[in-house]
Amino acid sequence: MAFYTFAQMEFEFYKYQGTGNDFVMIDNRHKIFPKNNTKLVAQICDRKFGVGADGLILLEEHPTVNFSMVYYNADGNLSSMCGNGGRCIAHFSRFLGIIDDKAVFEAVDGMHEASIQGDMVSLKMNDVTSVKVSDGYVFLDTGSPHHVEIVSNLEAFDVYSEGKTIRNTIYGKEGSNVNFVEAIGDEVFSVRTYERGVEDETLSCGTGVTAVALAMFETGNTQTNTVKLQTPGGLLTVAFTKTDKGYENIYLTGPAAQVFKGIWK
């Protein structure tokens, strides 16, 4: 990957993580960031030549709600919804004094609500009306597209190779995130995710665990509408309501934390 020098480029950034899913967060309410510079985004997210992150998130002004969320994958491209990123930006907005403990914001997939208690953030996800159950896997969109597949011995499973193959061969150029799942209890599932855009396994994926929870309920692998998901980065909870139209009142809950801040030069 080729990187370039960006003259006269200096701004403050914050590093956040939500169950190990890490993001560079920038307050862009004054339009300080060059939004079309995909090479700069990729350089900032690079773990050797930049800050290092799974993605970069801009917090921007919104005319009617608390703020807008603009999310870039680590490859520099604008992406679909990021659940852990949504939880982290809600935490960030409280840090900036924009909200107290409740937020309403707009992301690429529409409006979201979030509530914060300490460092625990609960994010309302959009309704899911279509769950495609196929032979050996489930596909659904929880703000981002997700392939969900049950495997044995998940700890030793080759998530990178198998996820990369599925992402490219089944779903083509646009791709899909790929989640591998193993039950560790009636209401608890272990999850590892290969994320498109990052093109690698991440420690956690918010839209991914949301997809897993709904897929496990849809296929009868759990009977509860509050599911715990153990990721390599930590524990998340997904609660939902099953209706005739699909799934509603979907909430993704887990910790979010500010790690450090710095100046990009």
Position 5 scores a pLDDT of 46
Position 208 scores a pLDDT of 98
Which phi and psi angles does 23 have, rounded to 5°? -140, 145
Beta strands in 108-153 (DSSP E): 110-117, 120-125, 131-134, 137-141, 145-150
- Between 3.20.20.140, 3.10.310.10, 2.40.30.10, 2.40.50.140, what CATH number should domain 11-124+256-264 receive? 3.10.310.10
Residue 129 token pair: 């009306």
DSSP states of 147-208: EEEE-SSGGG--HHHHHHHHHHHTTTTT--EEEEEEESSSSEEEEEEEETTTTEEES--HHH
Active site amino acids:
82, 205
Please give the mean pLDDT across all residues of the chain.
Answer: 95
CATH 3.10.310.10 for the 131-249 domain, yes or no: yes
- 174-195: pLDDT as tens digits: 899 999 999 999 899 999 999 9
Fold match between domain 11-124+256-264 and domain 131-249: yes
Instruction: Name the pLDDT band for 8 (thresholds 50, 70, 90).
Output: low
- 82-120: pLDDT as tens digits: 999 999 999 999 999 999 999 999 999 999 999 999 999
Instruction: Name the pLDDT band for 6 (thresholds 50, 70, 90).
Output: very low
pLDDT at 1 over 80: no
- 141-164: pLDDT as tens digits: 999 999 999 999 999 999 999 999
pTM for the predicted model, two decimal places = 0.94
- Domain regions of the chain by residue span: 11-124+256-264, 131-249
